[in-house]
Amino acid sequence: MKRAPADTEKSARIITRRGLLLGAAQLGFAGVLAARMRYMQLDQADAYRMLADQNRINIRLLPPARGLIFDRKGVLLAGNEQTYRIVMVREDAGDPEAVLARLGELIWLDPEESARALEEMKRRSPFVPVTIADRVSWEDVAEVAVNAPALPGVFPEVGLNRYYPLGSDFAHVVGYVGPVSDYDLARIEDPDPLLQIPRFQIGKTGVEARREADLRGSAGTSRVEVNAVGRVMRELSREEGIPGSNLQLTVNHVLQNFCEARVAGESAAVVVMDPRNGDILALASSPSFDPNKFVRGISSKDYSALLEDPYRPLPNKASQGIYPPGSTFKMVTALAALEDGLIGLDDTFTCRGFVEVASRRFHCWSRGGHGRVDLVRSLRESCDVYYYELSQLVGIERIAAMARRLGLGVQHDLPLSSVAKGVVPTKSWKLETGKGEWVIGDTLNATIGQGYVLASPLQLAVMTARIATGAAISPRLVRAVDGVEQPVRGLAPLDIDPANLAAVREGMYQVVNGTRGTAGSSRIVAEGLRMAGKTGTSQVRNITAAERARGVTSNDDLPWDRRDHALFVGYAPHDAPEVAVSVVVEHGGGGSTAAAPIARDVLLAAHYDGVPPLSAYPASQRGTIRTRLENLELRDPQTPSEGRSRA
């Protein structure tokens, strides 16, 4: 049926009204969307741009594993242990102090370490992770991980820390590592980016410091995506760093431990060398200290105790301590005279207990004198007057030249914190150092290793090795790097007549094995192990004429720090040298009583690779020596490490 016009018109009006309403609604919705888009794109553009930027990719440095250090037998001297730590990235944390406060409610934080970390964050780049807590427990790591959303920029890490399994035995040789300091950075012209990582460990002393470039390795990188609150969303890629090189040293851990135990309780140094190739077999300085305390953060109390100890445990006495060599220097004077043909082997001088030169008396240690003395006897009985007379023929310049030829007055190239050059004086040296003109008395004092002459135990060991072999041996401490053998230096013959060397060696043999030898009580009786050597006693105080007239005060009656230094140098076997040794006992008294017995024990320990058998000693001494050896606090021998792990 056809609709009426009125109905059609009414329907059209309804449809039009609904269309208008729908259109208005659509238009209003579109307007709201447009306004919202304008608000977000214009008014809030900076905020959303920041959020977008913060949900981005970070590139972080991965510290490499530090190279390991082994002894000559493959026993680990310096290794790495896995530890947990909590770190914070300043730019991800927003408000580091507030985040640190929240972290402190979850795990215990050292207030001093927290303050240090906040200060560190201000000085470092904002994207560099700063260690908040080190060596934390697994429970603390789990607590931080669970509460990660409330701790922006804070995350746990697994790291490697240095440790020294043999403790104090190698503290002065291997040294120790510690966090990079501003002082360290200031000394480096183009620092490795790794050094910018707070608390990154680098070598501070010893081999750790001197071979830092080998041991450190190269950094790796990790590309991670982090969200706006600094939480790591995922790791996109990872490139591991290159571990540092492994070093094998020439030292023997058994012998080193024996040396340390043998001089325990003394302020002393022992150096043991293989005179055939220059390998340092032991380098002991007593007392020692535990390097692990420095790695973990030594307390003020412990550090003050080390600084205030009168025996000075921190310096390496073996390489940087310098002492008047005393009578151990007499071989230098003898060789200088023999080489220039100024004396023959049978020429003699008369010792009356003193010699007068320039209206001054120079005394021999024997007040009654030695009578007629030739070269061998002068060494065997350590006659001072013989060398006073000899020095006036030779002169200081020839003596100094021979001393340098034998390794004294030379800074030997070893990867140790400090290697002393010592002093071999000459006329020009005295003028240059402002000490005035050289006088004849200076020569007489120098010729017996007193006066201005100073040498380290290391130099005395080199001198002994060169005399024993007739070769220009140089000391070596690093045997191999990543399994590659390092070169041996100084195998060329010394420019010294072999006959003259033989004469001096005979005198050194008589010191230990001859009648009235100054070290006769320290002889070795084991077949094929006879020792040759030389005692030395160096004064540390002046003896006045009045004291000499009434009798020189015994060392036992003097305060410790005014007693003479005791020295001994030697090698064995005397006819085919395999081991050379030097011993210095600070304020030990006489070289024959304090230093020579130590040297004998050490030479035997080197030969037997451990505690010597009693059969090597004279029968009359075995009871006393048994007690001494049994009382040594020796470390249990360790087996060589398996493989060459870099972890």
- Which residue, chain included where needed, has tokens 């040794």? 581
Tell me if residue 366 is catalytic: no
Among candidates 390, 362, 363, 394, which has minimal Cα distance to 378? 390
Q: Which of 285, 319, 327, 474 is catalytic?
A: 327
DSSP secondary structure letters along 169-181:
GGTTTT--EEE--
Question: What sign results for the dihedral spanned by CA atoms 236, 239, 241, 243?
Answer: positive
Q: What are phi and psi of 311, to 5 degrees?
A: -85, 0
* Helix H or strand E segment including 207: helix 206-210
Exposure string for 206-229, b = 16+ CB within 10 A, e = fewer: bbbbbbbebbbbebbebebebeeb
Cα–Cα dist 132/155, whole Å? 10
Q: Which two tokens stand for residue 17?
A: 């009204």
* C-alpha torsion angle, residues 94, 100, 102, 103 (rounded to 10): 120
SS3 192: coil
The DSSP bridge pattern shows strands 69-70 and 247-249 to be: parallel
Edge to edge, what strands does the sheet with 56-62 contain?
56-62, 220-226, 232-239
3-state SS record for 49-112: HHHHHHCEEEEEEECCCCCCEECCCCCEEEEEEEEEEEEEEHHHHCCHHHHHHHHHCCCCCCHH
483 exposure class (CB count in 10 Å sphere: 0-12, 13-18, 19+): exposed
Q: What are phi and psi of 303, to 5 degrees?
A: -70, -40
Cα–Cα dist 124/118, whole Å? 10
SS3 32: helix
Which amino acid, one-letter code, is at 599? A
DSSP secondary structure letters along 439-466:
-HHHHHHHHTT-TT-BB-HHHHHHHHHH
What Rg value do the Cα atoms of the chain yield, rounded?
37
Which are the catalytic amino acids? 327
